[in-house]
A = this chain, B = another copy of it.
C-alpha cells in the first residue's frame, strides 16, 4: 500500500471544497487553485480529487451529465438538479433519508454498500423568473 505524504495542493483542494455548498467540477477547482498556486496543473487537481474520493474524504458525483462534480459532504444525501439553470443542490429531508435507508435495507444479503439518488425539476429561482 502506498504511504500517503503531505501535499499543500491536496490540503488546499480539500479545504476549498469543504468551504462550499455547491458542487464544483474539477476544472472549477483548478481555476480557483490557480489563485493560490499559479503553476498548479489540471492533472494534479484530478489526481487529488480522485485520491480524496478514494479515501472517502470527498464524494465524486457522476450523475448530472457533463463533467463530474465533487462534494465535501460525505454523509449519504441526495441532490436536486434544476433542469433549467443546471444548478445542483443538496436535499435535506428526514423523510427522504429514512426512505433511502429502508430501500437499502430491502436488499437481500446486505448487498448495498452505498447509494445515491437525485431528483430533477425546476428550482424556485427559475420558477420565480418564469412568472415574470
A42 → B minimal CB distance (Å): 18
Residues of the B chain whose Cβ atoms lie less than 8 Å from the Cβ of A93: 103, 106
Please count how many residues in chain A sit with their CB below 8 Å of the partner chain's CB atoms: 35
Contacting residue for A117 out of B68, B115, B121, B124, CB 8 A:
B115
A120→B122 CA distance, assembly (Å): 28
- With CB as the reference atom, state the residue of chain B lying closest to A104: B119
- With CB as the reference atom, state the residue of chain B lying closest to A111: B121
Q: Top 9 A-B pairs ranked by shortest CB distance?
A: A117-B117, A99-B99, A114-B120, A111-B121, A115-B119, A62-B65, A113-B121, A63-B63, A112-B121
A74 → B minimal CB distance (Å): 14
